Structure 1
Amino acid sequence: MLLCWAWIPLPLAADTLWLENGDRITGTVLRHTVSEWQVASDVAGIIHIDAAHVSRVEWSGAEMPVSDFLAEARERNRPEDHPFSSRGGLDVAVEYENSAVDTHEVDIALRQHVTQGVWRHRWRASYHREHRDNERRDNDWELAYSPERFVTRQRFWQGRVSSKRDWEEDISRRFALGLGPGYQLWNTEQSAFSLSALLTYNRFAYASQPEERFYSWALQWQFNRHFWQELFELYAAGRTGRAFSGATGFQFNAEIGVRYPLTEWMSLNMGVEADWVENSAEDLRDTLYHVGLGVNW
């Protein structure tokens, strides 16, 4: 009797596909999409079946019409229709050091994040200036905008346009325009992480030589994580890439930091920014450390 009861559940645990011509295929469904089914059969191995020929499917004894399954699959893959939400902030860091070398430094960063429907928009603007013994050592600003359009709940297309002006480095102006696919690995109230790969058009202007135009690939990332009942927020964002040809080879721009809320609208922020460029005219290696206050909305 035990042997009989052990054998009875086996056919019930199998999946059965009923075809339009009346045939049926029994096995384990490995993969199913809107256009194809893949079934592992003990007799014929892995079978690929055109979804147009499948009339209904029986999942381990529970029957479901194919039309219901397709509707359920499409619903799972549809991008989420988010309500309108907007958040942003302004971070300011000011440093004055009176020693053998008098240093005055100002760092300002403005950020804005807007979500509505299947669209997500990110804006960022920054300005940095440094004087040492009344001599200007750094003076630059940057603007960037990234729109994202979700095509499923996790996949999206991302664009990016950015412009940077630097009055002290030989690379005086940088403009970039990119487009490519992205993937949202997770997005919860506590944490979010997304990656995107962009094909980018670049235009560099120099203080000592003619401008350069080239194409490159770029990998971008966005990450944030709240800790200890949202008392701390760890954030990281950046991009890295390499040119297909031209004088400019490798580019890397990233920021990582921590925010601590002082009030509902004010926070203390500490961060590190890196801006590296390998170039025949100039190898740029800028690293900025800042501690300051932020206003959030």
Structure 2
Amino acid sequence: MVMAALPLRADTLWLKNGDRVTGEVVEKTASHVRIKTDYAGEIAVAAGRVERVALEAPPEPEPEPKPAPARAATSSIDRPFTATGGIDVAFEYEHSAADTQELELDVRQRIEAGRWRHTWRAGYHREYRDGKRRKNDWRLSYAPERFFTSQRFWQGRVSTYRDWNEALERRFSLGLGPGYQLWDNERGAFSLSALLTRNRYEYARRHNETFHSGVLQWQFNRYLWNQLFEVYANGRAGQALSSSTSFLLASKTGLRYPLTDWASLQLSVETDWVKNSVEDLNDTTYNLGLGLNW
């Protein structure tokens, strides 16, 4: 803080010989008067030489400005508006004893504002071998999260899945439950949530089933080596509360390497496993492709 010095008081010593001394009287006794001047410093004048002393009232300091009224502090729970997302594309063509064409698309979008965080995900997978379709499926999910503290939140989730080549053709789930944000900073984030989910499975050659399950979800990403690489892992594992479908697992784990501010090279492993009394679904897909980020 910089403070401006106040000028010296204009006190005046009238001397018996007609001279006068102007400054600030700092001491006055029966033997002398000590006065501080701005041209000769502090000097002492014998009291016998002083005819009279004229003291000026000290200047009043300027009043300090009143502080502006404090604004209401923004809650640490409230998050600034941010929108991030991207799309990962992997395409493979193999010409050998069997011609194989495979395409994998994964779209992600996350929006944060205030106490809300919204996450959308969509994916499509297709594979042809010798002109015959072997895999063809798509998936879509949306998860809103409402934060009550900087770490605790309540999450909802709705998802749907369609497969044209498996006995389990359609899946739909709707869940709700609490979550906990372990950390969320510039180096990455990690959150867990536990949902009670209602599911509906539709099969190609048997009756449909509706059941409840307990599901544990995780979302993790971490930037390594001065943000040169990003490691991420998202998934959900659940145990059905019935004897028909006993266990389910869906996860995607990968590594991204930034090529530019908006493009990255990505390598990932995706697992989809459903274990039930009819047949087990166990798909694992390895992807190497290009990611576009915004």
- Normalising by structure 1, report the TM-score: 0.73
Offset of 1:212 from its aligned partner?
A: 0.4
Offset of 1:225 from its aligned partner?
A: 0.2
In the alignment, the residues of structure 2 paired with residue 291 and residue 210 of structure 1 have an alpha-carbon distance, to the nearest angstrom, of: 38
Identity across matched positions, percent: 60
Offset of 1:246 from its aligned partner?
A: 3.9
Contact 2:77/2:148 (8 A) holds in 1: no
Q: Secondary structure at the match of 2:219?
A: strand
Name the counterpart of 1:286. 283
Name the counterpart of 2:79. 82
In the alignment, the residues of structure 2 paired with residue 79 and residue 210 of structure 1 have an alpha-carbon distance, to the nearest angstrom, of: 50
Supply the RMSD in Å over aligned alpha carbons: 1.3
CA spacing shift, 1:174–1:79, aligned 2, 3 Å: farther
In the alignment, the residues of structure 2 paired with residue 198 and residue 255 of structure 1 have an alpha-carbon distance, to the nearest angstrom, of: 19
Contact 1:221/1:237 (8 A) holds in 2: yes
1:145-175 alpha-carbon deviations (Å, 9 max, x no partner): 0000001111000000000000000000000
In the alignment, the residues of structure 1 paired with residue 127 and residue 275 of structure 2 have an alpha-carbon distance, to the nearest angstrom, of: 23
Paired residues, number: 222
1:224 is aligned, of 215, 221, 224, to: 221
Q: Name the one with the larger helix percent.
A: 1
Q: Secondary structure at the match of 2:274?
A: strand
Name the counterpart of 1:245. 242
In the alignment, the residues of structure 2 paired with residue 142 and residue 191 of structure 1 have an alpha-carbon distance, to the nearest angstrom, of: 26
Q: Secondary structure at the match of 2:205?
A: coil
In the alignment, the residues of structure 2 paired with residue 223 and residue 216 of structure 1 have an alpha-carbon distance, to the nearest angstrom, of: 23
- Normalising by structure 2, report the TM-score: 0.74
Name the counterpart of 2:266. 269
Q: Secondary structure at the match of 1:195?
A: strand
Query: Is residue 2:193 matched to residue 1:196?
Result: yes
Name the amino acid aligned to 2:255: V
2:134 is aligned, of 106, 119, 137, to: 137
Query: Is residue 2:186 matched to residue 1:177?
Result: no
1:97 is aligned, of 94, 98, 105, to: 94
Offset of 1:79 from its aligned partner?
A: 5.2
In the alignment, the residues of structure 2 paired with residue 111 and residue 281 of structure 1 have an alpha-carbon distance, to the nearest angstrom, of: 33
In the alignment, the residues of structure 1 paired with residue 127 and residue 156 of structure 2 have an alpha-carbon distance, to the nearest angstrom, of: 32
Name the amino acid aligned to 1:228: W
Unpaired stretches in structure 2, ≥5 consecutive residues: 1-72
Offset of 1:226 from its aligned partner?
A: 0.2
Contact 1:260/1:267 (8 A) holds in 2: yes
Contact 1:269/1:291 (8 A) holds in 2: yes
Contact 1:79/1:150 (8 A) holds in 2: no
Offset of 1:247 from its aligned partner?
A: 1.1
Query: Is residue 2:118 matched to residue 1:118?
Result: no
In the alignment, the residues of structure 1 paired with residue 278 and residue 129 of structure 2 have an alpha-carbon distance, to the nearest angstrom, of: 25
What are the within-5 Å matches in structure 2 for residues 19-34 of structure 1?
Answer: none
Unpaired stretches in structure 1, ≥5 consecutive residues: 1-74
2:103 is aligned, of 79, 102, 106, to: 106
In the alignment, the residues of structure 2 paired with residue 170 and residue 239 of structure 1 have an alpha-carbon distance, to the nearest angstrom, of: 22
